[in-house]
Amino acid sequence: MRKVTVLLALLASASAEAGEPEITLTTPASIALSEWCERGEACDQLAADRAQAHRVKTGRNAQLSEKLLVERSFFQGEKFSFRFNCVR
């Protein structure tokens, strides 16, 4: 019974972190965010869409400049860090 409780707690904590991207840095010249992606998911496009939506109010376009794999998890997939330059 304890093993089941521990397993359920691990699954709950793993699924709680997935979802919306975390914006880690925003300046007039760049934006950085991190996001959990399932394997095979078009993570680059999702991150670009979210960065562009964040930059639309400044009238600039978000252009991908760096993508780093931060972490891998059996339950969540892969966590990537993206950095976008904001260009006109």
Q: What's the CATH code of the domain at 13?
A: 3.30.1360
H or E stretch covering 54: helix 43-55
pTM for the complete prediction?
A: 0.70
The sign of the torsion formed by the CA atoms of 12, 75, 69, 44 equals: negative
Q: What is the pLDDT of residue 12?
A: 45
Q: Which domain holds residue 41?
A: 2-87
More confident residue, 63 or 10: 63
Q: What is the pLDDT of residue 8?
A: 45
Average pLDDT, the chain: 79
Q: What is the pLDDT of residue 5?
A: 46
Looking at the structure of the chain, the number of domains it has is: 1
